Homo-oligomer: A and B are copies of this chain.
Protein backbone atom coordinates (compact mmCIF):
# COMPACT_ATOMS: atom_id res chain seq x y z
CA UNK A 1 0.00 0.00 0.00
CA UNK A 2 2.90 2.39 0.53
CA UNK A 3 5.47 3.29 -1.97
CA UNK A 4 9.21 3.19 -1.66
CA UNK A 5 10.53 5.67 -4.17
CA UNK A 6 14.06 4.84 -3.24
CA UNK A 7 13.86 1.10 -3.51
CA UNK A 8 12.83 0.84 -7.11
CA UNK A 9 14.62 -2.14 -8.60
CA UNK A 10 16.74 -1.49 -11.66
CA UNK A 11 15.01 -1.69 -14.99
CA UNK A 12 11.71 -0.42 -13.70
CA UNK A 13 10.40 2.52 -15.46
CA UNK A 14 8.72 4.78 -13.03
CA UNK A 15 5.60 6.62 -14.12
CA UNK A 16 6.86 10.02 -15.13
CA UNK A 17 5.46 12.82 -13.12
CA UNK A 18 2.52 14.29 -14.98
CA UNK A 19 2.19 17.98 -15.71
CA UNK A 20 0.12 20.01 -13.30
CA UNK A 21 -1.88 23.11 -13.96
CA UNK A 22 1.01 25.12 -12.61
CA UNK A 23 3.37 23.69 -15.19
CA UNK A 24 0.96 24.62 -17.91
CA UNK A 25 0.52 28.08 -16.47
CA UNK A 26 4.25 28.65 -16.28
CA UNK A 27 4.87 27.41 -19.81
CA UNK A 28 2.08 29.57 -21.22
CA UNK A 29 3.11 32.51 -19.10
CA UNK A 30 -0.26 32.93 -17.47
CA UNK A 31 -1.72 32.16 -14.07
CA UNK A 32 -3.27 28.83 -13.12
CA UNK A 33 -6.57 30.65 -12.91
CA UNK A 34 -6.44 31.48 -16.58
CA UNK A 35 -5.63 27.92 -17.54
CA UNK A 36 -8.57 26.73 -15.53
CA UNK A 37 -10.84 29.22 -17.21
CA UNK A 38 -9.66 28.30 -20.67
CA UNK A 39 -10.37 24.65 -19.98
CA UNK A 40 -13.67 25.05 -18.21
CA UNK A 41 -14.97 28.03 -20.11
CA UNK A 42 -16.50 29.42 -16.95
CA UNK A 43 -15.09 32.87 -17.64
CA UNK A 44 -14.06 34.44 -20.90
CA UNK A 45 -10.40 34.48 -21.86
CA UNK A 46 -8.92 36.44 -24.78
CA UNK A 47 -8.75 34.18 -27.78
CA UNK A 48 -5.06 34.81 -28.28
CA UNK A 49 -4.26 33.78 -24.73
CA UNK A 50 -6.59 30.83 -24.87
CA UNK A 51 -4.93 29.53 -28.01
CA UNK A 52 -1.53 29.77 -26.38
CA UNK A 53 -2.77 27.88 -23.35
CA UNK A 54 -4.40 25.19 -25.43
CA UNK A 55 -1.24 24.66 -27.38
CA UNK A 56 0.76 24.20 -24.21
CA UNK A 57 -1.87 21.84 -22.85
CA UNK A 58 -1.50 19.69 -25.94
CA UNK A 59 2.25 19.82 -25.96
CA UNK A 60 2.50 18.79 -22.33
CA UNK A 61 -0.36 16.33 -22.55
CA UNK A 62 -1.94 17.94 -19.56
CA UNK A 63 -5.00 16.28 -18.09
CA UNK A 64 -6.49 17.77 -14.92
CA UNK A 65 -6.08 15.57 -11.88
CA UNK A 66 -9.55 14.35 -11.14
CA UNK A 67 -8.71 13.85 -7.50
CA UNK A 68 -7.98 17.50 -6.95
CA UNK A 69 -10.99 18.48 -8.93
CA UNK A 70 -13.26 16.21 -6.95
CA UNK A 71 -11.84 17.33 -3.67
CA UNK A 72 -12.66 20.88 -4.48
CA UNK A 73 -16.02 20.09 -6.06
CA UNK A 74 -17.19 17.87 -3.24
CA UNK A 75 -18.23 14.91 -5.34
CA UNK A 76 -16.51 12.26 -7.39
CA UNK A 77 -18.96 11.18 -10.09
CA UNK A 78 -18.38 7.61 -9.05
CA UNK A 79 -21.08 5.29 -7.84
CA UNK A 80 -20.64 1.91 -6.21
CA UNK A 81 -22.46 -1.30 -7.02
CA UNK A 82 -22.42 -3.86 -4.29
CA UNK A 83 -23.32 -7.40 -5.32
CA UNK A 84 -22.44 -10.82 -4.00
CA UNK A 85 -21.19 -12.48 -7.15
CA UNK A 86 -20.51 -10.99 -10.55
CA UNK A 87 -20.09 -14.41 -12.11
CA UNK A 88 -23.76 -15.06 -11.44
CA UNK A 89 -25.47 -14.13 -14.69
CA UNK A 90 -28.28 -12.38 -12.90
CA UNK A 91 -25.94 -9.97 -11.20
CA UNK A 92 -23.86 -9.59 -14.31
CA UNK A 93 -26.93 -8.36 -16.15
CA UNK A 94 -27.86 -6.16 -13.26
CA UNK A 95 -24.35 -4.76 -13.28
CA UNK A 96 -24.58 -4.04 -16.96
CA UNK A 97 -27.77 -2.08 -16.42
CA UNK A 98 -26.19 -0.18 -13.56
CA UNK A 99 -23.10 0.58 -15.57
CA UNK A 100 -25.12 1.80 -18.51
CA UNK A 101 -27.17 4.13 -16.35
CA UNK A 102 -24.07 5.40 -14.60
CA UNK A 103 -22.28 6.01 -17.85
CA UNK A 104 -25.24 7.88 -19.31
CA UNK A 105 -25.18 10.24 -16.37
CA UNK A 106 -21.45 10.79 -16.50
CA UNK A 107 -20.63 8.47 -13.64
CA UNK A 108 -18.17 5.66 -13.28
CA UNK A 109 -19.06 2.50 -11.45
CA UNK A 110 -17.03 0.72 -8.81
CA UNK A 111 -17.70 -2.96 -8.65
CA UNK A 112 -18.02 -4.24 -5.10
CA UNK A 113 -18.07 -8.00 -5.30
CA UNK A 114 -18.60 -9.31 -1.80
CA UNK A 115 -18.64 -13.08 -2.24
CA UNK A 116 -21.21 -13.02 0.55
CA UNK A 117 -18.41 -11.98 2.88
CA UNK A 118 -19.60 -9.48 5.52
CA UNK A 119 -16.10 -8.20 6.09
CA UNK A 120 -15.71 -7.47 2.43
CA UNK A 121 -19.08 -5.80 2.42
CA UNK A 122 -18.01 -3.64 5.32
CA UNK A 123 -14.89 -2.52 3.58
CA UNK A 124 -16.87 -1.49 0.56
CA UNK A 125 -19.47 0.33 2.57
CA UNK A 126 -16.59 2.28 4.04
CA UNK A 127 -16.03 3.82 0.63
CA UNK A 128 -19.26 5.69 0.90
CA UNK A 129 -18.41 6.98 4.35
CA UNK A 130 -15.03 8.16 3.17
CA UNK A 131 -16.84 9.95 0.35
CA UNK A 132 -14.94 8.19 -2.37
CA UNK A 133 -18.20 7.39 -4.05
CA UNK A 134 -21.25 9.58 -4.34
CA UNK A 135 -23.69 6.78 -3.80
CA UNK A 136 -24.15 3.05 -3.60
CA UNK A 137 -26.47 0.62 -5.28
CA UNK A 138 -26.88 -2.19 -2.86
CA UNK A 139 -27.93 -5.55 -4.24
CA UNK A 140 -27.43 -7.84 -1.29
CA UNK A 141 -27.50 -11.50 -2.02
CA UNK A 142 -27.86 -12.49 1.57
CA UNK A 143 -29.70 -10.92 4.46
CA UNK A 144 -27.59 -7.86 5.13
CA UNK A 145 -26.96 -6.53 8.55
CA UNK A 146 -29.91 -4.25 8.97
CA UNK A 147 -28.16 -2.33 11.67
CA UNK A 148 -25.19 -1.42 9.55
CA UNK A 149 -27.36 -0.44 6.66
CA UNK A 150 -29.81 1.50 8.77
CA UNK A 151 -27.14 3.87 10.01
CA UNK A 152 -26.03 4.52 6.45
CA UNK A 153 -29.42 4.83 4.79
CA UNK A 154 -30.36 8.05 6.47
CA UNK A 155 -27.07 9.77 5.83
CA UNK A 156 -25.87 8.60 2.46
CA UNK A 157 -27.36 8.08 -0.97
CA UNK A 158 -28.10 4.38 -1.14
CA UNK A 159 -30.50 2.45 -3.30
CA UNK A 160 -31.64 -1.09 -2.72
CA UNK A 161 -31.71 -3.14 -5.90
CA UNK A 162 -33.53 -6.40 -6.39
CA UNK A 163 -33.62 -7.08 -2.70
CA UNK A 164 -35.37 -5.09 -0.08
CA UNK A 165 -34.38 -5.45 3.50
CA UNK A 166 -37.10 -6.46 5.90
CA UNK A 167 -37.81 -3.94 8.57
CA UNK A 168 -36.01 -1.21 6.75
CA UNK A 169 -38.25 1.68 5.84
CA UNK A 170 -37.53 4.79 3.92
CA UNK A 171 -35.25 3.40 1.27
CA UNK A 172 -35.21 3.79 -2.48
CA UNK A 173 -36.03 0.38 -3.85
CA UNK A 174 -35.99 -1.06 -7.35
CA UNK A 175 -37.04 -4.64 -7.55
CA UNK A 176 -38.70 -7.18 -9.76
CA UNK A 177 -42.22 -8.18 -8.90
CA UNK A 178 -41.23 -11.29 -7.03
CA UNK A 179 -44.64 -11.98 -5.65
CA UNK A 180 -46.28 -11.85 -9.07
CA UNK A 181 -43.58 -14.18 -10.31
CA UNK A 182 -44.44 -16.64 -7.58
CA UNK A 183 -48.11 -16.35 -8.46
CA UNK A 184 -47.42 -17.04 -12.11
CA UNK A 185 -45.60 -20.20 -11.20
CA UNK A 186 -48.33 -21.25 -8.79
CA UNK A 187 -50.99 -20.78 -11.40
CA UNK A 188 -49.03 -22.58 -14.04
CA UNK A 189 -48.42 -25.63 -11.91
CA UNK A 190 -51.96 -25.72 -10.58
CA UNK A 191 -53.38 -25.49 -14.08
CA UNK A 192 -51.19 -28.36 -15.15
CA UNK A 193 -52.79 -30.39 -12.42
CA UNK A 194 -50.14 -30.42 -9.73
CA UNK A 195 -51.30 -30.48 -6.15
CA UNK A 196 -48.17 -31.15 -4.14
CA UNK A 197 -45.04 -29.11 -4.52
CA UNK A 198 -41.65 -28.66 -2.98
CA UNK A 199 -40.50 -25.06 -2.71
CA UNK A 200 -36.79 -24.40 -2.52
CA UNK A 201 -36.36 -20.93 -1.09
CA UNK A 202 -33.48 -18.54 -0.68
CA UNK A 203 -32.00 -17.66 2.69
CA UNK A 204 -34.34 -16.51 5.44
CA UNK A 205 -34.74 -12.79 5.77
CA UNK A 206 -34.62 -12.11 2.07
CA UNK A 207 -37.78 -10.38 1.10
CA UNK A 208 -37.50 -11.39 -2.54
CA UNK A 209 -37.40 -15.01 -1.59
CA UNK A 210 -40.29 -14.89 0.83
CA UNK A 211 -42.33 -12.85 -1.65
CA UNK A 212 -41.84 -15.46 -4.31
CA UNK A 213 -42.82 -18.20 -1.93
CA UNK A 214 -45.89 -16.44 -0.65
CA UNK A 215 -47.09 -15.54 -4.15
CA UNK A 216 -46.59 -19.13 -5.11
CA UNK A 217 -48.42 -20.54 -2.12
CA UNK A 218 -51.31 -18.18 -2.65
CA UNK A 219 -51.85 -19.13 -6.28
CA UNK A 220 -50.97 -22.79 -6.04
CA UNK A 221 -53.40 -23.59 -3.26
CA UNK A 222 -52.05 -27.10 -2.78
CA UNK A 223 -49.64 -28.78 -0.40
CA UNK A 224 -46.32 -27.02 -0.26
CA UNK A 225 -43.26 -28.18 1.59
CA UNK A 226 -40.56 -25.60 2.03
CA UNK A 227 -36.82 -26.06 2.26
CA UNK A 228 -34.38 -23.27 2.79
CA UNK A 229 -31.42 -22.95 0.44
CA UNK A 230 -28.92 -20.29 -0.48
CA UNK A 231 -29.39 -19.67 -4.19
CA UNK A 232 -26.47 -21.87 -5.14
CA UNK A 233 -26.64 -24.84 -7.45
CA UNK A 234 -25.19 -27.03 -4.74
CA UNK A 235 -27.93 -26.23 -2.29
CA UNK A 236 -30.60 -27.12 -4.85
CA UNK A 237 -28.91 -30.45 -5.27
CA UNK A 238 -28.52 -31.10 -1.60
CA UNK A 239 -32.04 -30.11 -0.61
CA UNK A 240 -33.62 -32.32 -3.20
CA UNK A 241 -31.36 -35.24 -2.38
CA UNK A 242 -32.24 -34.90 1.29
CA UNK A 243 -35.90 -34.53 0.50
CA UNK A 244 -35.91 -37.68 -1.59
CA UNK A 245 -34.08 -39.57 1.10
CA UNK A 246 -36.52 -38.73 3.86
CA UNK A 247 -39.63 -38.72 1.75
CA UNK A 248 -42.42 -40.86 3.11
CA UNK A 249 -45.96 -40.51 2.00
CA UNK A 250 -45.72 -36.97 0.73
CA UNK A 251 -44.44 -37.18 -2.80
CA UNK A 252 -44.39 -33.84 -4.60
CA UNK A 253 -44.88 -33.75 -8.32
CA UNK A 254 -43.38 -30.33 -8.80
CA UNK A 255 -40.46 -28.30 -7.55
CA UNK A 256 -40.31 -24.54 -7.48
CA UNK A 257 -36.76 -23.37 -6.98
CA UNK A 258 -35.94 -19.86 -5.82
CA UNK A 259 -33.63 -19.37 -8.77
CA UNK A 260 -32.45 -21.11 -11.90
CA UNK A 261 -29.19 -22.26 -10.41
CA UNK A 262 -30.96 -24.11 -7.64
CA UNK A 263 -33.35 -25.54 -10.22
CA UNK A 264 -30.44 -27.01 -12.12
CA UNK A 265 -29.07 -28.47 -8.92
CA UNK A 266 -32.47 -29.96 -8.26
CA UNK A 267 -32.67 -31.46 -11.72
CA UNK A 268 -29.27 -33.03 -11.31
CA UNK A 269 -30.31 -34.58 -8.00
CA UNK A 270 -33.51 -35.90 -9.53
CA UNK A 271 -31.60 -37.49 -12.37
CA UNK A 272 -29.24 -39.16 -9.99
CA UNK A 273 -32.26 -40.62 -8.26
CA UNK A 274 -33.50 -41.95 -11.56
CA UNK A 275 -36.31 -39.45 -11.95
CA UNK A 276 -36.99 -37.75 -15.25
CA UNK A 277 -37.91 -34.12 -15.77
CA UNK A 278 -40.65 -33.31 -16.57
CA UNK A 279 -42.09 -36.83 -16.81
CA UNK A 280 -41.80 -37.66 -13.13
CA UNK A 281 -41.34 -34.22 -11.66
CA UNK A 282 -41.85 -30.74 -13.03
CA UNK A 283 -39.26 -28.13 -12.16
CA UNK A 284 -39.53 -24.35 -12.30
CA UNK A 285 -36.79 -21.83 -11.73
CA UNK A 286 -36.55 -18.08 -11.35
CA UNK A 287 -34.40 -15.50 -13.16
CA UNK A 288 -34.28 -16.85 -16.70
CA UNK A 289 -30.54 -16.76 -17.01
CA UNK A 290 -29.29 -17.63 -20.44
CA UNK A 291 -28.64 -21.25 -19.58
CA UNK A 292 -32.31 -21.70 -18.88
CA UNK A 293 -33.28 -21.67 -22.54
CA UNK A 294 -30.32 -23.68 -23.73
CA UNK A 295 -30.29 -26.42 -21.15
CA UNK A 296 -31.94 -29.73 -21.64
CA UNK A 297 -34.75 -29.81 -20.87
CA UNK A 298 -35.18 -26.10 -21.38
CA UNK A 299 -36.19 -24.67 -18.04
CA UNK A 300 -39.58 -23.19 -17.32
CA UNK A 301 -38.81 -20.12 -15.30
CA UNK A 302 -39.71 -16.54 -14.51
CA UNK A 303 -37.87 -13.92 -16.44
CA UNK A 304 -36.56 -11.25 -14.16
CA UNK A 305 -35.57 -7.95 -15.69
CA UNK A 306 -32.13 -7.93 -14.14
CA UNK A 307 -30.79 -5.30 -16.49
CA UNK A 308 -33.72 -3.01 -15.82
CA UNK A 309 -33.46 -3.45 -12.08
CA UNK A 310 -29.83 -2.38 -12.18
CA UNK A 311 -30.52 0.44 -14.54
CA UNK A 312 -33.53 1.77 -12.67
CA UNK A 313 -31.92 1.60 -9.26
CA UNK A 314 -28.86 3.43 -10.49
CA UNK A 315 -30.68 6.06 -12.49
CA UNK A 316 -33.05 6.80 -9.64
CA UNK A 317 -30.27 6.94 -7.11
CA UNK A 318 -28.12 9.28 -9.12
CA UNK A 319 -30.98 11.66 -9.61
CA UNK A 320 -30.57 12.44 -5.94
CA UNK A 321 -26.93 11.65 -5.34
CA UNK A 322 -25.89 14.04 -8.07
CA UNK A 323 -27.40 16.85 -6.07
CA UNK A 324 -25.88 15.66 -2.84
CA UNK A 325 -29.23 14.49 -1.55
CA UNK A 326 -30.41 11.38 0.22
CA UNK A 327 -33.16 9.75 -1.83
CA UNK A 328 -36.60 9.60 -0.20
CA UNK A 329 -38.44 6.33 0.17
CA UNK A 330 -39.83 5.08 -3.10
CA UNK A 331 -40.50 1.77 -4.72
CA UNK A 332 -40.05 0.77 -8.32
CA UNK A 333 -41.54 -2.61 -9.08
CA UNK A 334 -40.58 -4.07 -12.43
CA UNK A 335 -42.74 -6.62 -14.22
CA UNK A 336 -41.72 -10.25 -14.54
CA UNK A 337 -42.77 -12.78 -17.10
CA UNK A 338 -43.38 -16.52 -16.98
CA UNK A 339 -41.40 -18.45 -19.55
CA UNK A 340 -42.98 -21.82 -20.10
CA UNK A 341 -40.51 -24.30 -21.53
CA UNK A 342 -39.92 -28.02 -21.32
CA UNK A 343 -39.27 -28.70 -17.66
CA UNK A 344 -42.94 -28.62 -16.68
CA UNK A 345 -45.75 -30.92 -17.71
CA UNK A 346 -48.86 -32.54 -16.34
CA UNK A 347 -48.12 -34.81 -13.43
CA UNK A 348 -48.00 -38.50 -14.16
CA UNK A 349 -51.03 -40.12 -12.62
Q: Which residues of A contact B (CB under 8 A)?
A: 1, 3-5, 8, 11-16, 18, 61, 63-68, 70-71, 74-78, 81, 85-87, 89, 92-93, 95-96, 99-100, 103, 106, 108-113, 115, 120, 123-124, 126-127, 129-132, 154-157, 264, 290-291, 294-296, 307, 320, 322-326, 328
Copy number in the complex reads: 2
Q: Which of B3, B291, B294, B325 contacts A15 (CB 8 A)?
A: B325
Establish whether residues A86 and B92, one from each chain, have CB atoms under 8 Å apart when the complex forms.
Answer: yes
CB-CB under 8 A from A96, the residues of chain B are 85-87, 113
Establish whether residues A324 and B63, one from each chain, have CB atoms under 8 Å apart when the complex forms.
Answer: no
Establish whether residues B89 and A3, one from each chain, have CB atoms under 8 Å apart when the complex forms.
Answer: no
Chain B min CB distance to A191 (Å): 26
CB-CB under 8 A from A3, the residues of chain B are 74-75, 322-324
Establish whether residues B111 and A99, one from each chain, have CB atoms under 8 Å apart when the complex forms.
Answer: yes
> Whole-angstrom distance between the alpha carbons of A13 and B15 in the complex?
43
* Residues A325 and B8 in contact in the complex (CB < 8 Å), given A294-B294, A296-B295: yes
Chain B min CB distance to A273 (Å): 19
CB-CB under 8 A from A113, the residues of chain B are 95-96, 99-100, 103, 109
Residue of B nearest to A112 (CB): B108
Residue of B nearest to A113 (CB): B99
CB-CB under 8 A from A11, the residues of chain B are 328
Chain B min CB distance to A34 (Å): 20
Chain B min CB distance to A206 (Å): 22
Establish whether residues A326 and B13, one from each chain, have CB atoms under 8 Å apart when the complex forms.
Answer: yes
Most buried by B among A76, A115, A130, A296: A130
* Residues A108 and B87 in contact in the complex (CB < 8 Å), given A12-B323, A77-B1, A328-B11: no
16 pairs, CB–CB < 8 Å, chain A vs chain B: A13-B326, A15-B156, A15-B157, A63-B129, A64-B130, A66-B130, A67-B67, A86-B95, A87-B92, A87-B95, A87-B96, A103-B123, A108-B132, A111-B111, A291-B294, A294-B295
Establish whether residues A324 and B5, one from each chain, have CB atoms under 8 Å apart when the complex forms.
Answer: yes
CB-CB under 8 A from A296, the residues of chain B are 294-296
* Residues A130 and B14 in contact in the complex (CB < 8 Å), given A71-B71, A291-B291, A296-B296: no
> Whole-angstrom distance between the alpha carbons of A111 and B103 in the complex?
11
Residue of B nearest to A85 (CB): B96
* Residues A110 and B67 in contact in the complex (CB < 8 Å), given A3-B323, A291-B290: no
Residue of B nearest to A264 (CB): B294
Establish whether residues A78 and B129, one from each chain, have CB atoms under 8 Å apart when the complex forms.
Answer: no
Residue of B nearest to A233 (CB): B290
* Residues A99 and B86 in contact in the complex (CB < 8 Å), given A12-B325, A131-B18, A294-B294: yes
Residue of B nearest to A11 (CB): B328
Establish whether residues B92 and A89, one from each chain, have CB atoms under 8 Å apart when the complex forms.
Answer: yes
Establish whether residues A14 and B89, one from each chain, have CB atoms under 8 Å apart when the complex forms.
Answer: no
CB-CB under 8 A from A89, the residues of chain B are 87, 89, 92, 290
* Residues A14 and B325 in contact in the complex (CB < 8 Å), given A78-B110, A86-B92, A294-B291: yes
> Whole-angstrom distance between the alpha carbons of A116 and B310 in the complex?
20
Establish whether residues B87 and A14, one from each chain, have CB atoms under 8 Å apart when the complex forms.
Answer: no
Chain B min CB distance to A299 (Å): 9
Most buried by B among A8, A157, A320, A323: A323
> Whole-angstrom distance between the alpha carbons of A320 and B8 in the complex?
10
